[in-house]
Structure 1
Amino acid sequence: MAVSSTKSFEIKATPEQVMAAIAAVDRLPDWSSTHKKVVIESTYPDGRPHRVRMTVSVIGLTDEQVVDYTWDGDRSMSWTLVESTQQNQQDGAYTLTPSGGATTVDFSLTIDPKIPLPGFLVRRAEKTAIETAGKGLTKFVEENFR
């Protein structure tokens, strides 16, 4: 059963600063407690990550994932799951919009676990991801990219 969520939040930084933080994929474990290990396997000519292998642990499940990233300048970044030990599908995106002296971040995530899980566990994992995207990324940007 695929589950989708969205969240909008504001970060007191420019879109360029926020995207620089998002592009620092190798530092995901610094601000996302679910990300245990991140290895960038390939990059685009501009140096931004293309294919990334990661170990993620949430709600007691550990997942080995490979995702492909797509970038649209400092406007948006999206990713698609290529392979996973625990998921059939995962698609996510960050879309950035200037908002005065800040940036509005729209985050979306769709996940579809391989094994049947009780709905409350799927919702808990989803909530963890959404909260991490908001609070973790905001703190990471404000402490490292402003």
Structure 2
Amino acid sequence: MAVSSTRSFEIDATPEQVMAAIAAVDRLPEWSPTHKSVTIESTHPDGRPHRVRMTVSIVGITDEQVVDYTWNGDESMSWTLVESSQQRQQDGAYTLTPKGSGTAVEFALTIDPKIPIPGFLVRRAEKMALDIAGKGLKSFTEKNYR
């Protein structure tokens, strides 16, 4: 059963600075404790990551996955799961909107595990992913890209 969630938050940085932090996919393990390793396998012509292989561990489940990233300038980024040992589907996106001197960020995530997982574990993993996307990205961006 697929589960979808969204979270909105603000970062004290420009959309260009936030997107630069998001595009630093190889640095995900620095701000996302669920990401154990990340390897960029291919890039788009502008140098931003296209196909990425990663090892992710959340609520005691480790997943080897490959995702494809799509970029829309400094406005949005999305990814789609290509292969995974633990999921049938994963789609995510960051949408950035200028707000004063900072950026409003909307993070959306849909996951569909291959194996039945108790609802409380799915909700815990979902909450962790949303918290990391908000707090981790905010801290990483404000520390490294402002």
The offset of 1:33, in angstroms, is 0.2
Partner of 1:78: 78
Question: How many residues are matched?
Answer: 146
Q: Which runs of 5+ in 2 are unaligned?
A: none
Q: Does 1:126 align with 2:142?
A: no
Output the CA distance in 1 between the equivalents of 2:120 and 2:112: 14
The offset of 1:30, in angstroms, is 0.3
Q: Deviations over 1:75-134 (max 9, x none)?
A: 000000000000000000000000010100000000000000000000111110000000
Letter in 1 for 2:26: D
Within-5 A mapping of 1:1-146: 1-146=1-146
Output the CA distance in 1 between the equivalents of 2:56 and 2:94: 19
Q: Deviations over 1:45-99 (max 9, x none)?
A: 1100000000000000000000000000000000000000000000000000000
Q: Secondary structure at the match of 1:71?
A: strand
Output the CA distance in 2 between the equivalents of 1:117 and 1:30: 28
Output the CA distance in 1 between the equivalents of 2:97 and 2:142: 17
Output the CA distance in 2 between the equivalents of 1:127 and 1:81: 20
Q: Which runs of 5+ in 1 are unaligned?
A: none
**Runs of 4+ more than 2 Å apart:** none
Letter in 1 for 2:28: L
Output the CA distance in 2 between the equivalents of 1:126 and 1:84: 17
TM-score between the two structures when normalised by the length of structure 1: 1.00
TM-score between the two structures when normalised by the length of structure 2: 1.00
Q: Secondary structure at the match of 2:106?
A: strand
RMSD: 0.3
